[in-house]
Structure 1
Amino acid sequence: KNNNGYNELWYNASNGKKVIVAKKNAWSLEFITLFAYLFCIFLLVISVFHIGGFLFRTKFKRKELKELFQFNIRSQIHATIIFISVFSFVVIGIATISFFIYRFNQSNEERLSKSIQVMANEIEEKVKTVRAQLTFDDVLTINDVGFGSDLERKINEVSEVHNVDVNFYNAAGTLMASTQPYIYNKHLLSEKMDPIAYHELSINKKIHFIHSEKIGSFSFLSIYIPVNDDEGHTYAYLNIPYLNSQAELNQEISGFLATLINLNAFIFLLAGAIAFLITNRITSSFGLITEKMKEINLGKINEEIKWEKKDEIGVLVKEYNKMVTKLEQSAKALAQSEREGAWREMARQVAHEIKNPLTPMKLSIQYLQRAINNNSANVKELSTQVAETLVQQIDQLSNIAGDFSQFANINNSRPEKFDATDIVNSLVQLHQSNDNIKIHYQKQVGNYMIYADKTEFARMLTNLIKNAIESAEENDAIQIHIHQQIINNQMQISIQDNGNGIPQEMQHKIFTPNFTTKSSGTGLGLAICKGIIENANGKIWFETEENKGSTFFIQIPLIENNG
């Protein structure tokens, strides 16, 4: 029963007596030990399951098996700490157990040596009286019943005093008396003295000999010493078998291992917590740097990372901040270079476009001047022709100026809510009045309210329809198909022509400013269309097939709930 922290075993002895055996409870230690064992078993099972699952998935392929040892930083730190903990546990355990065994054997040998020497002296005194009654023949015989019983009694007295087992052999190595006779009666041990011990003591004349003996698989220490008479002649051998040596050693090792496992389980948990904190700190730092790197954009100001600690991560952060500064400087230089290049290209294009109408204007005026100087009769008619030419070229200059002005102000839109269908209908009706153009218009039922610049939207559609018509002018019949529909809350309009299509080598330049497939024009039309669509949060693309025609698509988000 349990009584005041003790486990008690009650036994009813004879004559009304009771025997009580009490042992102090160690619930806390047992609980900790159980937890440590379960924790170690849990880790072992998890490790085996993880490795086994990985091997099953990879099917033992060498290339994929290499991934087993490719850890991220977090896993590397965890694995290192786990390995150090387990390795320390194994090394400390092996070293300490080896030291335990060495110290245990050494301590037992010292204790047994002292005990057997004292016992030898005592037995010599007790045996002197018995030997005095016998004829000295250097060999005691066990056949003498009276001597054997008297010797066994004295051996038992000495054994009880020193609390050890004793065997007594004669000079020939034959057992004469033992405190554990049943071992020999059961023939578990021979009645002859251990031959190695007998050889060392009788032949090599050692003063004592200690070595390990076995009963089956049971191992124990055994010490032998010669028993001499007053003249120094050996007439017997005394032996102490320490039968409890292995059991005590196993008990001490078990106790130590239990303590070591408990301690290492605690250290392992502590190391795991420390590893978790360290890896979180390191990975969070790398995560911060990673997020900042993802946010790097040449078009905006990139923030530097603030890091106060002067560690390895601080060095990395410092280099990152330097990179951000250099990147910002490079971005400014690149933007400046792009602006200057864009303006140079724009100036070149403007000069080229203006030069085209100026040349016929100059030639016409020079021709008129020569006619006037020569008093030509058709000066009046010639003046009328020159005037018409000048008006045409001035109109072209006006169109050029308008295109460049619109391209320069493409981002200055004035968005508003309107129904795109009204503009599409008006443009379709406008072009249907031309007998040479056949426009097919299809519209899915729905409300096409969008939020964009209405004027720019109309200009964009006009430009796309105009391009479609111009691309099919070489055909006898110009066929234009316009399809308006709703896809994923987006208004999509497609404009298809039956022209010659766009050559493969020109397709990637189609939305580039100043690029045109026609012999005249600024090449800003599709670039302006793209800018108008993007200002309305839409997109534009095309599909083309040579000798069959092209289809341009635009998509613009509809106002939510068609409101």
Structure 2
Amino acid sequence: MMVFVVVESIMIAGVTLYQFNKQNSEYHKDRLERKEKNLLVDIQYEVKKSLALTLESLSDSTVMEMADVHNMEFELYNLDGVLIKSSTAIKGIPGKTELDKNILNFFSENSSNRYMQEEKNNSYFKPSYNLVLSLENKPLGIIYIPYFADDTVSKEERSSFLIRLGFVHGNMILVAFVIAFFISSFVTKSLDAIGKTIKQTRLTDKNIKIENHNTPKEVVALVESYNTMIDKLKSSAVKLAKSERETAWREMAKQVAHEIKNPLTPMRLSIQTFERSYSKGQEFSKEKIKEFSDSLIQQIDTMSSIATAFSDFAEMPTPKKEKLNVIQIVDVALDIFNRDFIEFKCEDKEIEASFDRTQLIRITTNLLKNAFQAIPENKIPEIKVSISQNAKQVLILISDNGYGISKSDTEKIFEPNFTTKSSGMGLGLSMIKSILEAYNGSISFKSKKNKGTTFEVKFPKI
């Protein structure tokens, strides 16, 4: 917004300077033409009064008097270009000073009665030459008028206007900065509160809803979706408590908790990224905030679908097939992570497949989360995501520059409850494999110790 105000101020100043110069030029042009016309009419009547009907018949006193009356110096030449009369301010010598031949040629070759001489090195000096005609339109000679444009008043007005303009727009920039600061603080405060509440969300604990009083409109939808998810989690927990299948409950509770925690982690990363960007002074437009909210709402919807299925005797959501653009869905999943560390590559604009949108997002976010967690803290993350296709399949590659997978763990990596991390239940990769097999797909990987790992996801395309 502030950039817009500054650019607008510069444009207004430029247009103002242009308009002032244009008006000033037109003013002096009209003023010179008006003075020329009045002086020529005066000369015509003075020549007629002399009865001789020639410019030579004008007395010096008459010439000086006309110069004083019109406040304009001038010289009178005969048709051969020889000076015959001059006002006192001009130092030409009658009978000797002659006009430039180009001027005489102009009047002899053209039907125009006026010639303006352009002074390239001086825009304030505008000499003009006119044919002097008798009242019967008979050429009597040529008059030379040196006109000096006085722009002192115009410059003062222009300077005064620009100072006032600068003052007004300077205040506008200051006001815009203050408004932007308070709006950003207001929005960020709401998002910070949401982030803290999301961090405290637990499946088995009593979760607190977020109050949406004094919350920006762009964030209200996010708050409402989160509160709806809390209601569903509470309902699911009550139904689970009443279930008599204790063994099934324990196993399923682990898996559901893992699935709910899976989107919560990238949601927290997104909010942390937002906070870091704000602390560096970056401003956020309404579109950027809405994009951020939509990304988080999508993850909340994922958790809501899990909670709904959890209420039906702890069953995972039933996969459904829908026609979708794989590139678009994967790109949406990437938005909840810090994309500064992610290199996304795809040569196609659209790759269609019959897949469950929620499940595809879950697969992508789970693999990306694992990729980030596999990288040492003292190493800059380098995550590469690529999407391609062959005649029958979609191929998604996700690689990192982390620790890698040891040979002893390669055979157990897709087994339930197997994990090499200090936290987590080891259900993520097992679940991804089950989902892909339900869609006739597969997952495999290649890894080098301390170099990184690349997971390859394949499933049929349309």
- Normalising by the residue count of structure 2, what TM-score does the alignment of the two structures yield? 0.45
Highest CA radius of gyration, 1 or 2? 1
**Bigger relative contact order (CA 8 A; separation at least 6):** 2
